[in-house]
Structure 1
Amino acid sequence: MNQSSGSGLPIRVLVVDDSAFVRKVLREVLGASADIEVVGAARDGLEALEQIAALRPDVITLDLIMPNLDGFGVLANLPTEHRPRVVVVSTHEAQSILGLAALEAGAIDVVHKPTALATTDLYDLATELLAKVRAAGRGRPPAPLGPPAARQQGARAVRGARAPQLYGTRLVAIGTSTGGPQALARLLPALPQDLPVPLVIALHIPIGYTADLARRLNERSTLEVVEGSDRLLLRPGLVVLARAGQHLRIEHTSDGLHARLDAVSFAPFRPSVDILFHSAVEAVGAKVVGVLLTGMGDDGCAGARAIHEAGGKVLTESESSCVVYGMPRSAIEAGVSTVSCTLERMAEEIQRWL
C-alpha cells in the first residue's frame, strides 16, 4: 500500500475493462497524474487475475460486465495478501443494484461511465475517477459483507447505557463517504430496534443508488431504513438516508422533526454532511449526536464544529477501522470530536450518549 504507507511512491493502478476504447481513455486520464502509475490493462476477469498476481497493483479500476469472468468473479478471487483496492467503473441498466452488490463484495467505491462508451464523454469522468483512485490508494480494502442477519433477531441495548432522558438527545446524524455503505451495513444492525431517536444519514454516493441501498440496509437491520422524502416525519427507530443528488435538512415544526430535501444549495457534495449537521443544530440545538464515519475529504468538519459549539456530541470513527481516514480525522484535528472509536464500538457509543 504505497500511498497509505507514506512512502511517496505513485499509486500503481491496473485498468480492467472489456472495451479497448475505455481502457485507452482510463489509461490516459490516470497516467496524466504524476502520483499515479498505470502498470497494466486487462480485457476480462481472467486476464485481470493473472496481472494482479504478476503486478501486485495498489488499485484496480474494474468493469463489472465482461466476458469469460466478470467483475464479481474478480472480486471473489482477489488475493488475501497484497489485496488491491477496487474502484468499480461500470454502467448497466441495473447499475445501482450491481454497484451495491460490488460494494458488498469488497469494492471500495463506484464511478459511472456513460452508456455511449465510444465518446469523449468518458473524459468527463477524470475528476471523479482521479479523486476516488487516490482515496482508494490511501485506504484499505473493506471486508466483504456476509448475508444479512434475520431482522427479527435484532440488537440488544448496551447494558448500562444512559437512559434517553438523562441527556435528552432527539436526533443522531451520520456523515460518511468512501467505505460508507459497508460501514452503515455493519453499524445499523448493531443498533437496537427500540432506538429512542430518529437517525439521519448523508452519504456521498452516485445518484440512483440510495433507494436500493436503503432497501438493502433495511433488510440487514431491525430499524426501519428509508430513502429520504420531503416533509417525512421523523420518529424514534426510523433511519432516513439522504437521497443522492439532494441535500437533506432537518426542520423542527409544531408536530415534530421533518426531513426536507434541497437540490439548490451549493456545496462540494450533494448531499452535504455539513448542511445536514448545521440543520440538525438549528432544529434541536445541543440535543444532537453527530457521527463521522469513514470517508475522504473534510465534509462534515464545519457541521461537527457547529454541533460541538452548540453543546452536542461528535463521535468519530478511529483510523484503525476506517477505509479512508479523512472525514473523521478532519473533526479530530479541529478539536471538535467528543469520542473517537472503532466502527465495532460505534453502536455502543451512540447508545451511551443518548
Structure 2
Amino acid sequence: MLSSPSGKIRVLIVDDSSFMRMAIRGVLSKDPSIEVVGTAVDGVEGVEKALALKPDLITMDVEMPRMDGIAALRQIMAKAPTKVIMVSTLTNEGAKATFEALDAGAIDYIPKNVTDSAQAQTIFRDELLRKVKDSVRSRFGGAAPIARPAMAAPVRRVSTPLRNKKINYVGIGASTGGPVALQEVLSRIPVNFPYGIVVGIHMPKAFTGPYAERLNAKCSLSIREAVDGDVVKPGLVLIAPGGMHTTLVRQGTNLVVKVVPTSAYPQYVYIPSVDLILSTMAEVTNGSMLGVILTGMGNDGFKGMQLLKSKGGVTIAQDEATSTIYGMPKACVDGGVADEVLPLGQIGYEIAKFAG
C-alpha cells in the first residue's frame, strides 16, 4: 500500500556520497510514478528520516560514516519496517555486506556501477527504476523469508508421488529474493544427497563467488561457484557465475559445465539465464532431473521448465505467499509446467526426499 495520496512510490535516499545522492535522485525524479521525499547522508540521519517521513522505499548505501547501512537497516526494521534496496559496491566486501543486509530484511540490492561510461549509466538507471517499481509488488513482512514457518499444504500436487520418478540431477533458478530463499532450500538438503545440483541466480560477476562461499559455510552440502569444465557430482552444488551464461553438456558419462560469454546467446536478457541452464540440462539428461523455480521477477526459467516437463522431468515452483516477487514461479504455474507448487519452507525437504 502506497502512502502517497498521488499513488506515487515515495523514496528516501540514504548515501554519504553527494554524487550518488544526486545520481539516484536524478534518475528517480524523472519518473512520474516516483517521488523522492528526502535524502540522508549517513545511517543515523537515515533512521531519523525513515521514522519521520515514512517512505514506501529506502535506497540504502552500505558503507557510511557514523552508522553503516546494515546497522541502519536493522534499526529501521526494528522501529518502522520499510522496504529497503541496498546500493552495493561491486567488490568482494560489498557482496558480503549485501548478503548480510538481505538476511537482515532488505528486499533487494543494486550494484553501484555509475561511471563515465554511457552504457554503465544506462544500465544503472534501468536497473534502479525496475527494482524500485518491482518493490511495490514485492512481499514484505519485516522479516526475511527464511524466518517464515512452513505452510501446511501445497497449492498443487500431482496424483503420483513425485519422488517415484527417476532423477539424476537438480537444476534451480531464482532472482529477486533468491539469495535468502536459496539458502533456506539448500540448508534442508543433507550432505549425502546423491545428485548434483546446478543453480542459476541473477547476480553480477563480483557477487556469485562470495555468495557461494556464504552458502558453503551455512549448509551441509559442498557449494562453490562453477568454472568452465566442472563436472556435476553428487552432493555438490555449483552456482553459475555472474556476468556470463552457463550451459551443460555431456562428456562421456559426465554432465559438464560450459561457461560462455553473453554475446553467444543474445536472446537471453537475464544473466546468467535460468532458461539456458535448465534447457541444456533437460536436453543432455533427457529429462531425468528435477527443476525448481524460486522467487523472482519476470519469467526466466519458464521455457526451461517447459522443455523439462515435455521430457518427463519433475518440476517444482515456489508458491505466491512465500515469494518475495511472484514472477518466475507464477509463469511456471500459469503455464501449467509446475508439478508441485510449494511454500519455501517445504521445498528443500521435498528435494531431499528424492534421495530415497
Q: Normalising TM by the smaller chain, what interval? A: 0.7 to 0.9
Shift of 1:98: 2.3
Shift of 1:50: 1.2
Asked if 1:322 corresponds to 2:320, the answer is: no
Q: Following the alignment from structure 2 to structure 1, what is the Cα–Cα distance between the partners of residues 201 and 195?
A: 20
Q: Following the alignment from structure 1 to structure 2, what is the Cα–Cα distance between the partners of residues 219 and 145?
A: 19
Q: Residue 245 of structure 1 corresponds to which residue in structure 2?
A: 243
Distance 1:240 1:124, change over 3 A: closer
Q: Following the alignment from structure 1 to structure 2, what is the Cα–Cα distance between the partners of residues 298 and 31?
A: 28
Q: Residue 136 of structure 2 corresponds to which residue in structure 1?
A: 137
Q: Residue 159 of structure 1 corresponds to which residue in structure 2?
A: none
- Asked whether the 8 Å contact 2:172–2:197 carries over to 1, the reply is yes
**Alignment-mate amino acid for residue 281 of structure 2:** A
- Asked whether the 8 Å contact 1:198–1:234 carries over to 2, the reply is yes
Alignment of 1:283-302 (within 5 A): 283-302=284-303
Q: Following the alignment from structure 2 to structure 1, what is the Cα–Cα distance between the partners of residues 6 and 177?
A: 23
Q: Residue 112 of structure 1 corresponds to which residue in structure 2?
A: 111
Q: Select 2:230's aligned residue among 229, 232, 245.
A: 232
Alignment of 1:1-354 (within 5 A): 1-2=1-2, 9-80=7-78, 83-91=81-89, 94-114=93-113, 122=121, 124-141=123-140, 143-144=143-144, 166-263=164-261, 264-266=264-266, 267-352=268-353
**Alignment-mate amino acid for residue 209 of structure 2:** A
Shift of 1:90: 3.2
Q: Following the alignment from structure 1 to structure 2, what is the Cα–Cα distance between the partners of residues 188 and 204?
A: 17
- Asked whether the 8 Å contact 1:225–1:239 carries over to 2, the reply is yes
CA distances 1:121-159 after superposition (whole Å, capped 9, x unpaired): 65651101111112222213473599xxxxxxxxxxxxx
Shift of 1:54: 1.6
Shift of 1:20: 2.1
Percent same amino acid among aligned pairs?
A: 34
Q: Following the alignment from structure 2 to structure 1, what is the Cα–Cα distance between the partners of residues 6 and 344?
A: 28
CA distances 1:136-187 after superposition (whole Å, capped 9, x unpaired): 22213473599xxxxxxxxxxxxxxx897x4220111000001111111111
- Asked whether the 8 Å contact 1:85–1:140 carries over to 2, the reply is no
Q: Following the alignment from structure 1 to structure 2, what is the Cα–Cα distance between the partners of residues 121 and 349?
A: 41
Q: Following the alignment from structure 1 to structure 2, what is the Cα–Cα distance between the partners of residues 28 and 64?
A: 20
State the secondary structure of the residue aligned to 1:294: coil
Q: Following the alignment from structure 2 to structure 1, what is the Cα–Cα distance between the partners of residues 120 and 243?
A: 20
Distance 1:249 1:223, change over 3 A: same
Q: TM-score, normalised by structure 1?
A: 0.87
Q: Which moved more, 1:301-310 or 1:86-95?
A: 86-95
State the secondary structure of the residue aligned to 2:214: helix
State the secondary structure of the residue aligned to 1:216: helix
State the secondary structure of the residue aligned to 2:190: coil
State the secondary structure of the residue aligned to 1:236: coil
Shift of 1:351: 3.2
- Asked whether the 8 Å contact 2:51–2:80 carries over to 1, the reply is no
Shift of 1:2: 3.0
Name the structure with the higher helix share.
2
Distance 1:331 1:145, change over 3 A: closer
Distance 1:351 1:32, change over 3 A: same
How many residue pairs match? The answer is 336
Q: Following the alignment from structure 1 to structure 2, what is the Cα–Cα distance between the partners of residues 8 and 238?
A: 51
Q: Residue 153 of structure 2 corresponds to which residue in structure 1?
A: none
Q: Following the alignment from structure 1 to structure 2, what is the Cα–Cα distance between the partners of residues 296 and 120?
A: 23
Distance 1:145 1:314, change over 3 A: closer
Shift of 1:105: 2.4
State the secondary structure of the residue aligned to 2:86: strand
Q: TM-score, normalised by structure 2?
A: 0.87
Q: Following the alignment from structure 2 to structure 1, what is the Cα–Cα distance between the partners of residues 68 and 75?
A: 11
Q: Following the alignment from structure 1 to structure 2, what is the Cα–Cα distance between the partners of residues 120 and 49?
A: 33
Q: CA RMSD in A?
A: 2.6
- Asked whether the 8 Å contact 1:307–1:313 carries over to 2, the reply is yes
CA distances 1:70-89 after superposition (whole Å, capped 9, x unpaired): 10111111134752121111
Q: Following the alignment from structure 1 to structure 2, what is the Cα–Cα distance between the partners of residues 302 and 183?
A: 22
